[in-house]
Chains A and B, each alone.
Chain A
Amino acid sequence: MPTDRIDIRHVARLARLALTDDEIATFGPQLGSLMTHVDALAKLDTENVAATAQVVPSRNVQREDAIRPETILARDVVLQNAPQVQGPYFRVPRIIAEEG
């Protein structure tokens, strides 16, 4: 069974999703069939296909190192969708663990 390869509780935790047991029972098989679909790709002969990270055929799209003042947002605009604001800052629930 492809679902054996997915720890759905782990995946849900990584995505910060709180799933109920019913939801896990529903989504587990659905993810499993997605995996089965991807398995079909593994059967293709890719011997002569170069590994690629991008399907767009362009390379080296870069910008000059310059400030574009017209793109900078006014602070009231920046903060307008913040769930909570304190002075000039976004206010968020206490950070409990170091990451990164």
Chain B
Amino acid sequence: MTAPYWEAVIGIECHVELKTVSKMFCGCPNEFGGEPNTKVCPVCLALPGALPVPNAMAIEYMLRAGLAFGATIPPHSKFDRKNYFYPDMPKNYQISQFDMPLTQGGVVRYWLEDGTRGECRLTRIHLEEDTGKSTHASADGRLAGATSSLIDFNRAGVPLMECVGEPDIRSADEAVAFLETLARTFRELGVSDVKMEEGSLRCDANVSIRKRGATELGTKAEIKNMNSFRSVRRAIASEIARQIEVVEGGGRVIQETRGWDEAAGVTHSQRSKEEAHDYRYFPDPDLVPIDVTADVVERVRATLTETPYERYARYVDTLGVDSKRATQLVDDAALAAWFDRAVAASDGKAQAVVAFVLGDLARLANESGTPLAAGKVTPEALAELVALTSSSAINSKAAKQIVETLWSEGGSAKAIVEREGLAQVSDRGAVEAIVDEVLAANPKVVADYKAGKTNVMGFLTGAVMKASRGKANPSLAQELLKEKLAAR
């Protein structure tokens, strides 16, 4: 929690592995895991003389990702070398993009659990290559006390997009909402699996605080090593609290990299930078420039469909679905598509459709392990059921039974109503006859009611429902009971 006096300013940078078949600059497979050092070739191992050739699909995925957030696609782009030494990077430089990224600008619109919305501008998204993976050879596998590191280059050269956000975020919850929206969008665009646990989404956060209302930025700390959305939320909240404590204690925040310690729940200073990074970027002479024509941009733009945020906003703003349920739908693209078809078939009765989809149907899907979209219930059958319910042709008890039957057999809701004789009896005369019968059979209960025990109404309604084998319209039954009792 930020004390009211302080405001946190957060900028997120995240690396996302693209889901191409092959690596960025060579024909090695882009697959997670596997036997160490078995998915490598002269290019990704940086053997002398080997030359990189960019993967066309990775560039296409970048355009898709950028355009989904309204980014500008500059007509010219290029690759640069980012020079530094690290054992898991075989070339001693990383092929990246410096001043001419594939996409520039754009806005990520996101929403929080409670339905509040926000947006964060993107500075850019650029394309680069991933490094190998190192593990540390101490007894407990940790860096501290390790005498050597072990390198697996299977991941070296996997296409990586780096999304750089502007410092528009003000809380840990907003940071998570921003990342969740990125993840949902990239997953739906098919550009990445976005699995934090497998490292295909990795993020860093620049965190600073300032007096609320101030315009200049405070000194920022860069937080690393956040391996789940939960750790992002905890790490940022803990770092904000730490900085407030430092400043309120009369100290000042220093610019440094801090690693999140999941177990201890705090960030730790990692060796503060003695010297600023000096990556000496320069254009990679092994790679020719990339030109992206307006035709290509338009072709890619034409493939884009509704984004998760747009879908969420449509469900909430147009269909009146509550935020929590809208999120549940958006998080499952197949379910959302099924829901959309059912809403269309039911003439826009979204509230009733969502109640079935996330209620009985979700329960049945969960119990059986078969997703709704892969099951026997068609959106049209649900629309029929919704129509039957809203016209009072069946009561809610019958609706539940029909849902079960549709789930196990498929088919049409109307046909089930006819076959099983589930049509609700709303004929006044027919229900009246049953009510009379019930009242005649229960003189003591009637006497109790007349003596002021109005809670016996539940018993009497139940008796009418039972006598009608569940088919009487319950509200009509109650209405008639009240009328008849009052007349006695």
A: which residues have CB within 8 A of B? 10, 14, 16, 53-54, 56, 58-69, 71-73, 75, 78-79, 84, 86-100
Task: Mark the stretch among B82-90, B205-213, B242-250, B424-432 that contacts chain A.
Answer: B82-90
Chain A residue numbers with a CB within 8 Å of B85 are 16, 99
**Alpha-carbon gap, A95 to B142, bound state (A):** 11
Take A67-B29, A72-B28 as given contacts and tell me if A86 and B137 are in contact as well, using a CB distance cutoff of 8 Å.
yes
List, in ascending order, chain B residues with CB within 8 A of A54's CB. 78, 283, 285, 287-289
| 11 additional A-B residue pairs with CB within 8 Å, beyond A72-B41, A88-B152, A89-B151 | A10-B275, A62-B55, A65-B21, A65-B56, A71-B42, A72-B39, A73-B45, A75-B35, A92-B148, A94-B149, A98-B259
- Inter-chain contact A91/B45, CB cutoff 8 Å: no
Contacts of B35 in A (CB 8 A): 75, 88
Shortest distance between the CB of B267 and any CB in chain A (Å) = 14
The answer, among A60, A61, A71, A75, for a CB contact under 8 Å with B28, is: A71
Q: Is the Cβ of B58 less than 8 Å from the Cβ of A98? A: no
Contact indicator B37/A75 (Cβ below 8 Å): yes
Query: Do B290 and A60 have beta carbons less than 8 Å apart?
Result: yes
Interface string of B1-39 (1 = CB under 8 A from A): 000000000000000000011100011110000011111
B271 CB within 8 Å of chain A: yes
CB distance from B26 to the nearest CB of A (A): 7
Contact call B278/A79, Cβ cutoff below 8 A: no
In Å, the complex CA distance between A88 and B37 comes to: 7
Residues on B with C-beta less than 8 A from A14 are: 83, 278, 280
Assess whether A63 is in contact with B285, with CB atoms less than 8 Å apart: no
Spell out B's residues near A (CB within 8 Å).
20-22, 26-29, 35-43, 45, 53-59, 78, 83-89, 94, 100, 131, 134-137, 143, 146-153, 224, 257, 259, 270-271, 275, 277-278, 280, 283, 285, 287-291
A-B Cβ contacts below 8 A, count: 155
Do the beta carbons of A94 and B147 come within 8 Å of each other? yes
Q: A54-B283, A72-B28, A73-B45 given as contacts; is B288 within 8 A of A67 (CB)?
A: no
Given A59-B290, A65-B21, decide whether A91 and B150 contact each other with a Cβ distance below 8 A. Answer: yes
One of A61, A72, A98 near B288 (C-beta < 8 A): A61
The answer to whether A65 and B148 have CB atoms under 8 Å apart is no
In the complex, the answer to whether A62 meets B131 with C-beta atoms within 8 Å is no
Complex contact A100–B131 (CB within 8 A) = yes
Docked Cα-Cα span, A92 to B277, in Å, equals 23
Q: Give the residues in chain B near A99, CB-CB below 8 Å.
A: 84-86, 277
A63 near B56 with CB under 8 A, answer: yes
Question: Which residues does chain A contribute within 8 Å of B21, judged by CB atoms?
Answer: 65-67
Q: List 18 A-B contacts (CB under 8 A).
A: A53-B289, A58-B288, A63-B55, A66-B22, A66-B27, A67-B22, A67-B28, A72-B27, A72-B38, A84-B148, A87-B150, A89-B135, A90-B87, A91-B137, A94-B149, A95-B88, A95-B136, A98-B270
